[in-house]
Every structure is written in C-alpha cells, then in structure tokens.
Structure 1
C-alpha cells in the first residue's frame, strides 16, 4: 500500500481487517454495524475470510466521512485507502449503470 492505493487482494484484505479492528473498538458504532449487516458478535471471527463481509465493513465505514477520517487517522492510512481496498476485493467493484 502506497500513494493511497491498494496493490492487490492482500492489501485490500489488510485494510478491511484493520477497518474491522478499528470498528470493533468503537463502542458506539459496532452495534450499529452489527445491526446493519445482521451479523452477530460471535460471527465476526468466522467471517473474517469472506470477501463480501470485508466489503460490508468498508461500505459501512465509507458511509460517513468522519468515520473514514477517524479510521485512517487511527491507523496512519491515507483517506483514499478504504475505497481503494473496497474496489480491490471480489464483489467490491464499482457498478456502472450506463
């Protein structure tokens, strides 16, 4: 990872897992994420290797610029990395409707 971009699936997984770790430490946001995704707390570890779950983690954080900033600042990442990681994961490609 450099220059605000993700170089492959491994980088994308790393960003998404860091995002989940950050989210797990946010007592006010974690329950909102769990409710929005329908994920039970005990499922988190089991779903870590599922690309669609990792996409949902990044999608959730990307819903609010303040969350992106807080996550990236906490992890020392560029603000563009969560979106770049989302697009690099299977199923995370941006849809083009034209």
Structure 2
C-alpha cells in the first residue's frame, strides 16, 4: 500500500472497529430490553429511549461512530484518487528534428 494511503487506511480501520463496538453495545442493550419486555409487549417500537437514558446514549454514540466511519471512508477514497492521479501515466512528447544539408 502506498505510504500516503496507510494513514487514511488506519483511520478507516479504527473508525470501523469503533462502529462495530458501538453496534454491538446497541444490540446488547436491545437484547436486554427484550428480556424485560417480551417482543409483542415492547412499547412503541419507534422509541429509542428518553433523552439522557442509557439506550439513547448508546444509540447516539452509534450514530456518531457511523458518521465518523463514513467520513473516514470518504477521506480514504479521496486519498486513493490523489495517489491514482499522481501515478497516472503521463503522455511523453518526443520532438523529432532534422536539419537540411
């Protein structure tokens, strides 16, 4: 991998791992909710918790991690395009001249 891309790739990996961890915490919290409320008795499926609640905080952290992941991916793709442009084959122009004798 190109050295310029390495930093962006590491950022992308860290962002992805953080997103997966946030997603795991939200899924775990949902499972905990299902233990308290059976699936058919969960109050309004669209609710994500009251402001300041643990579940709302986890949900917001996951949304933030997703935003950072998308941003890191865009930065990585931009770096890839820069490297590709730099490495693009250039058109060499050869001038051929002659002299009249």
Band the TM-score falls in, shorter-chain normalisation: 0.3 to 0.5
Larger radius of gyration: 2
Give the structure-1-normalised TM-score.
0.35
Higher helix share: 2
